[in-house]
Amino acid sequence: MNIAFIPVRGGSKSIPMKNIKELNGKPLVYWTAKAANAAKCIDKVVIATDSKEIKEVVSIFNLDKIEIYDRKPQNASDTASTESVMLEYIAQSDLDNRDNFFLIQATSPMLKSEHIDNMYQKFVDSNADSIFSGVVEKQFKWKFVDGKKSVIEPVNYDYQNRPRRQDFEGLVAETGACYINSVGNIKKDKCRLSGNITFYELPSYTAYEIDEESDWIIVEQLMKNYQKV
């Protein structure tokens, strides 16, 4: 079985109740729920929430693969990890260790069903243990040294021999949109990624995650160009 798991809580601080705030005419969580529901490889979509309001909104989506899971309050706090609610759900489910668990995050509404299907196909073909969605960034990056913001050093290039952009491989950045791992691996390693890890490259416009109001404004404009209801 392939299960898509979308954790959404009601306690967002940066944008109150952002998971059901309307984005281009639909609640934010609708977009990833719709993509997962339409993906051919997905058998079931689980929306895990602690919020009555979110449950009421999700219940009227009319998406046939969706089930709602009541997550425990301790795994919906500001300090709780996403892994905690994943493990909570897996512990009470009848999933087999060989089943595939797709963690999909509602804050990445540019994710489409074809992305999920193609990512799963790469996962199968690569014989990887787990996979994440990512974008290739061709930016020259620097890091802080010893926690001092006044001292920095390059991460991915030699500034004295600056490569041309077309000759620069860049770095892979996680988008946070989708992760695939087996149930058995997640139970064993208590992590969304484990073992032999690969990535599926998404278009650069999908990289935005909605965490702040400015992200909301940017994504709304992008969706007008790339996403349809």
Which domains occur in the chain, in start order?
2-226 (3.90.550.10)
Q: Which of 9, 71, 98, 162 is catalytic?
A: 162
- Enumerate the H helices of the chain as residue ranges: 28-38, 52-58, 82-92, 113-126, 183-189, 213-226
Q: How confident is the model at residue 227 (pLDDT cuts 50, 70, 90)?
A: low
Higher pLDDT: 169 or 101? It is 101
Can you say how many angstroms the Cα of residue 49 is from the centroid of all Cα atoms in its chain?
16
Residue 156 confidence (pLDDT) above 70:
yes
pLDDT at site 229: 47
- Provide the mean pLDDT of the chain: 92
The residue to which tokens 């940017």 are assigned:
218
Q: Are strands 130-137 and 197-201 parallel, antiparallel or unpaired?
A: parallel
Average pLDDT over residues 24-34: 95
Residue 9 annotated to the active site: no
Could you give the strand order of the β-sheet that contains 171-182, starting from the edge strand earlier in sequence?
66-70, 44-49, 2-7, 100-104, 171-182, 130-137, 197-201
